[in-house]
């Protein structure tokens, strides 16, 4: 689905939202990949848009949860694109560390990891606060996970990963409290993002906010 001239939201992806971002300099990036098994769906939609596979330069992960990184290994193998993730999240992508989650979410993630094979993968690019990649600025957004990021282009877009999610009517829902590792950090991240200006919000889950998104976020006070 075309969001605007720079952004597409892939359709029928299992797991988290997966996006295509085309920068003003024509750098092409995939942002998040959904669960394992989505690579073909993503690539066929990119071809339909009229972009050839070798044009895909980066696969940027907002964090390393399976519903966001599930198809990254397949996509990297096919496209040769460079995989980028925040420095604090890289050990989880590599499989050097496992996230410890409490309660019901811990249980669900435990079961997912047992039954769904994830391929550990070495990132090609390690990101930190303020870096630029594919025409987007890295905004460190810890809370949901320790190395979560948002990706920002001033005045136009913010890809928020799971730092800010929405419902199916594009209403901002803050973050999912039961799936968040550190609630205090997650609330601080939202306060930080409230200082940014963007027209369109592209969340990890839920429907994008297409107009005046940063104004709507500023009015959000349920945290």
Binding site for Zn ion (CB under 5 A): 16, 67, 162, 204
Residue 167 beta carbon to Zn ion: minimum distance, rounded to whole angstroms: 14
Strands laid side by side in the 82-86 sheet: 7-9, 19-22, 28-31, 56-60, 82-86, 125-127
Nearer to Zn ion, 135 or 204 (CB): 204
Shortest distance, position 180 Cβ to Zn ion, whole Å: 11
Complex with Zn ion: residue 16 or 84, whichever CB lies closer: 16
Query: Closest approach of Cβ 93 to Zn ion, in Å?
Result: 15
Q: Which is nearer to Zn ion, 67 or 89 (CB)?
A: 67
The rounded Cα 84 to chain-centroid distance in angstroms is: 11
CA distance 54 to 73: 16
User: Which of 181, 176, 165, 14 shows the shortest CA–CA distance to 89?
Assistant: 181
Token representation of residue 7: 């952004």
Asked whether 183 and 190 are in contact (CB, 8 A), the reply is no
Q: How far is the CB of 16 from Zn ion (least distance, A)?
A: 4
Q: Which is nearer to Zn ion, 57 or 101 (CB)?
A: 101
């Amino acid at each position: 689905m075309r969001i605007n001239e720079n952004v597409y939201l892939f359709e029928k992806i299992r797991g988290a939202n997966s996006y295509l971002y085309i920068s003003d300099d024509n750098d092409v990036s995939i942002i998040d990949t959904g669960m394992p098994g989505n690579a073909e769906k993503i690539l066929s939609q990119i071809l339909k848009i009229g972009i050839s596979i070798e044009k895909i330069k980066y696969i940027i992960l907002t964090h390393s949860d399976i519903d966001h990184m599930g198809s990254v290994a397949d996509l990297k193998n096919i496209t040769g694109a460079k995989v980028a993730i925040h420095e604090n999240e890289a050990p989880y992508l590599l499989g050097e560390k496992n996230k410890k989650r409490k309660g019901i979410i811990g249980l669900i993630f435990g079961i997912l990891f047992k039954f769904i094979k994830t391929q550990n993968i070495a990132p090609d690019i390690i990101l930190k606060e303020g870096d630029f990649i594919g025409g987007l600025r890295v905004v460190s957004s810890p809370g949901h996970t320790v190395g979560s990021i948002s990706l920002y282009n001033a005045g136009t877009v913010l890809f928020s990963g799971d730092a800010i999610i929405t419902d199916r009517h594009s209403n901002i829902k803050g973050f999912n409290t039961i799936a968040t590792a550190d609630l205090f950090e997650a609330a601080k991240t939202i306060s930080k993002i409230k200082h940014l200006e963007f027209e369109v919000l592209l969340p990890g889950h839920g429907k994008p906010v297409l107009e005046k998104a940063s104004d709507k976020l500023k009015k959000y006070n349920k945290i």
